[in-house]
Amino acid sequence: MPEQNFSKKILVRISFVALFAALTAGGTFFVIPVGSVPIVLQNMFAVLSGLILGPIMGAAAVGIFLLAGILGFPIFSGGTGGIAILAGPTGGYLVGYFLASVLTGLIAGNPSYKTPLPRLIIAATAGFIMIYVPGVLWLKNVLNTDWQGAFVFGFFPFIPGDILKAIAAVAIAPRLRRLAADYLNG
């Protein structure tokens, strides 16, 4: 019996990781092109992965998404794929997705029944900021621009949308964390 419970727990964890990898990939269908870096929902799903699943499973979900995209599946923004995308303007943001899922998960902690709302707000905010760190740094190099240009093209246009995405993520996180806790800890 204990072996069967262990197998069930592993299967449930794999299912959650696969679900969030698929959600992140599905975010490619919600894209608003604005310059070199489009507005997407994928960053919200990367943050949600860490927020709902914790640092390890959240990072696994985003890692699978990134691996699939690098292997050529058309799941990066605009339906693109392949390792060459990492060398383009969005490459740093993609790396930021992975880092954000880890940081968000570390701050929010593993799924539980009662996580204080301020902690979830801090986690989501830190996650979105973490996406910008490698994103803007990489964009500055790819576009061969100064810091002002990097922030004008790769940061400021995205703030209003990312605030709305962070609010949405924090709004749904408590219920989803409780649901995940039921399956993952039970």
- CATH no. for residue 64? 1.10.1760.20
Element (H, E) at 150: helix 147-154
pLDDT of residue 32: 79
Domain count within the chain: 1
pLDDT of residue 186: 64
**Span 22-35, pLDDT tens digits:** 999 999 888 777 77
In a 13 Å sphere around the CA of 156, the CA atoms on its Cβ side amount to 7
Q: Which token pair is 157?
A: 């246009």
Closest CA to 79 of 30, 43, 34: 30
pLDDT of residue 66: 98
Look-up of token digits 């209003």: 160
The answer, as to whether pTM is greater than 0.85, is yes
**Span 61-71, pLDDT tens digits:** 999 999 999 99
For 17, counting Cβ atoms within 10 Å of its Cβ (0-12 exposed, 13-18 middle, 19+ buried), the class is: buried
Q: Give residue 30's Cα distance to chain centre.
A: 14
pLDDT of residue 184: 84
Residue at 173: amino acid letter? A
Look-up of token digits 């507005």: 39
Contact residues for 114 (Cβ-Cβ < 8 A; gap 6+): none
Give the number of other Cβ atoms within 10 Å of residue 161's Cβ: 16
Structural domain span for residue 92: 2-184
What residue ranges of the chain have pLDDT lower than 70?
Answer: 1-4, 186
